[in-house]
Amino acid sequence: MDSVSYGDVNQLAEEAYNSAIGRLGADAMPNLFAAYPENAYRIDVFGQACGPESIFSEDELKEGIPGGFSSGLQLRRELWA
């Protein structure tokens, strides 16, 4: 796994967006990145985001993910439902 760091969350969001739209000179779309809901939505519009179902098993989704991640999954379900 290679990790990349950006100056702040806004720069990360912009770089991920540039990748999603295929902007000339943009890096390849990352496999995983952190994003606020509004930035994740911008990327999902271009079909570049996946749902939690592609990462976690049904049992894991029912149990919830430790560390507060499950609340983010619920928010994603509400935004993209």
Q: What is the DSSP string of 15-81?
A: HHHHHHHT-TTPPPPPS-----HHHHHHHHTTT----GGGTS-HHHHHH--GGGHHHHHHHHHHHH-
- Report whether pLDDT(50) > 60: yes
Residue 39 is predicted with a pLDDT of 85
How high is the pLDDT of residue 61? 73
Q: Is the pLDDT of residue 80 over 70?
A: no
Render pLDDT for 10-39 as a digit per residue (tens, 0 to 9): 888 899 899 999 999 998 888 777 788 888
Lookup result for tokens 């739209």: 21
CA gap 46, 67 in Å, rounded: 29
pTM (whole model) above 0.75: no
